[in-house]
Copies of this chain bind each other. A is one copy, B any other.
Amino acid sequence: MEPLRFTPAGIPVVNFRLAHSSSQIEAGIGRLVQCEIAAIAVGQLAEQISKRRPEQECMVRGFIAARSRNSSQIVLHVNEIRF
């Protein structure tokens, strides 16, 4: 988790990474899935997240978007988080 930062307009933003692990079914066969994804939260949620310690289990909901206009990197924008 990176430190809380503020946009020029004063909106709090936090960048962090989420690690995920689960069992999934693909073409009828079970498999273990692991991945890490870059994440971002904005506003009050950013403040809440920045106060948490890392490595804490959570469930998130949000949407994915390109990191920037010409980037092929994906960032998960978190709109909801439950610890």
| A33 near B74: Cβ-Cβ < 8 Å | no
Q: A4-45: contact bitstring with B at CB < 8 Å (1 yes, 0 no)?
A: 000000010000000010101111100001111100001111
| B34 near A66: Cβ-Cβ < 8 Å | yes
How many copies of this chain?
A: 2
Is chain A's binding surface mostly helix, strand, loop or mixed?
strand
A66 to B66 CA separation, bound complex (whole angstroms): 17
A27 to B11 CA separation, bound complex (whole angstroms): 10
> Residues of B contacting A81 with CB < 8 Å?
none
| A65 near B35: Cβ-Cβ < 8 Å | yes
| A79 near B26: Cβ-Cβ < 8 Å | yes
Cβ of A64 under 8 Å from chain B: yes
| A42 near B27: Cβ-Cβ < 8 Å | yes
